[in-house]
Structure 1
């Protein structure tokens, strides 16, 4: 999922939205398999990260379309926040630890 998520925030990645939606769908389908383990928090973390980023991108879309620079800044901030959540989750996963909500 890390590669998919990082590709999703790379400017100009044509298939980024499709890849992100596929990763989200995979997480939603596989989440129950991790129930009761430390890995369950990672599924919830990734699902919340994608959903919140998607909502924030949609909310700021008019700003991006009407006033390019403020919209681009907003999208950059959202992308940095999203990337932070990806990295934090990967660091915790590599340490075999749950992600704190």
Structure 2
């Protein structure tokens, strides 16, 4: 009986961490899409560190995929922003278009992941 309670407590704790992380991701993602509303990368870094630290606790659970999903989303977005940064230096409009597309893609990943978390479902890669 104790194992069942421990598993439920762990699942609830991990789900709370997931909600907090997705919320921080969502704030940054929405801010990136709305001009002038950028809250900064500090929130994203906090969410990223939380995911890295708590990832091990989710191994073997349905929530494990969410930690990988959020970590990959941040890493891929960061790489894409860095690769397209020279467009801002050379041509402002293509840079803006590239960064808007990356931000929309990131927002999609946040929404899709959060919806699956709310439904107690793992997320695919």
Name the TM-score, length of structure 2 as normaliser: 0.76
Aligned-residue RMSD, C-alpha: 1.2
Q: Which piece of structure 1 moves more, 62-71 or 8-17?
A: 8-17
Runs of 4+ in structure 1 deviating by more than 2 angstroms, as ranges, are: 11-16
Alignment of 1:35-74 (within 5 A): 35-74=59-98
Aligned counterpart, 1:8: 28
Name the TM-score, length of structure 1 as normaliser: 0.93
Cα drift, residue 57 of structure 1: 0.4
Cα drift, residue 65 of structure 1: 2.3
Larger Rg: 2
Query: 1:19 is matched with which residue: 33, 43, 46?
Result: 43
Asked if residue 80 in structure 1 is aligned to residue 80 in structure 2, the reply is no
Query: 2:122 is matched with which residue: 81, 98, 101?
Result: 98
Q: How many residues align?
A: 101
Q: SS at the partner of 1:38?
A: coil
Cα drift, residue 15 of structure 1: 4.1
Distance 1:94 1:3 in 2: 12
Q: SS at the partner of 2:41?
A: helix
